[in-house]
Amino acid sequence: MKKIYLNLKRFDIPKDMNGINDIGYGDCWARKIINSLNSIKDVDLVVFLPESSLFSAIKNTKHIGIGCQGVHYKDVVKGGNFGAFTSFRPASAMKALGVTNVIVGHSEERASKNELLIIGGGKGDVNEILNQEVKCALAQEMKVLYCVGEKAEEQENKYEVIKNQILVGLKDVDISNISIAYEPIWAIGPGKVPPDKEYIEDIVKFIKSVVNVPVVYGGGLKVENAQMLASISELDGGLVALTRFGKDFGFSTDDFKKIVETYKEGL
């Protein structure tokens, strides 16, 4: 069964506060979205939400996996740290809430952590931090979507970059609950030209030669590319964030359902 992931980013910020949520305040939007998506069948669907809306999503899901948008790189320890993680999101807290999935290493998270490393003198590898996050999530029996991908200035040595992200980020972990999302960071954003089928197919094959786990396309599964992505036999699904682009960019459950159906038709 193909894997479809939906990352609702900070969908808890309404449009009148400069966000993209035009559904409602509080957590009513999460309830509405999950109830609408419960009708989707024949794909392994996981939705990542901001922590403020996780409980509402968990209460209303029927078969959809509910995920958080990251976990801290440390967690509680019996006889040690009891949970002194103010402002952080430990994996144990997510498990206690009922969360079953997490996305780790999204390009936005990587960029943020790299900025902190630069402020601290530029030493260290962000993948080592992500490795600790993966381990914390797996220790709490969560399924992990681990993101990898190259920036524009890394395209010439993309294989080395991606291989390092995998070997360091997934070092010493049980990969049975790991999937990978390939994000071509250089192609994400307004006006960017997305990679073609051959490029994606090549990268997916390379990733699977490094680690044998399911791989989904993380550069944006859309109606326009759904059938092309579905035709790549090595690809195991896709990741969706926005469904509308241009001046009216945002998210719509009807648009999302159309993306999923278009992808299924191309299989």
In the chain, what are the domain boundaries? 3-265
Which regions in the chain score pLDDT beneath 70? none
Question: According to the model, what pLDDT value does residue 138 have?
Answer: 98
The reported pTM is 0.97
pLDDT tens track for 146-194: 999 999 999 999 999 999 999 999 999 999 999 999 999 999 877 788 8
**Active site positions, annotated:** 106, 183
Instruction: Compute the mean pLDDT over every residue in the chain, rounded to the nearest whole number.
Output: 95
Closest by Cα among 16, 2, 21 to 253: 21
Could you give the CA distance from residue 141 to residue 136 in angstroms, rounded to a whole number? Answer: 9
Q: Dihedral angle at the C-alpha atoms of 15, 20, 21, 27, nearest 10 degrees?
A: -110
Alpha helices in the chain, H assignment, sequence order: 28-37, 54-60, 91-97, 107-119, 126-139, 158-169, 197-210, 223-230, 253-265
In 136-196 the beta strands, taken as DSSP E runs, fall at 143-148, 178-182
Question: According to the model, what pLDDT value does residue 249 have?
Answer: 84
CATH number attached to the domain at 3-265: 3.20.20.70
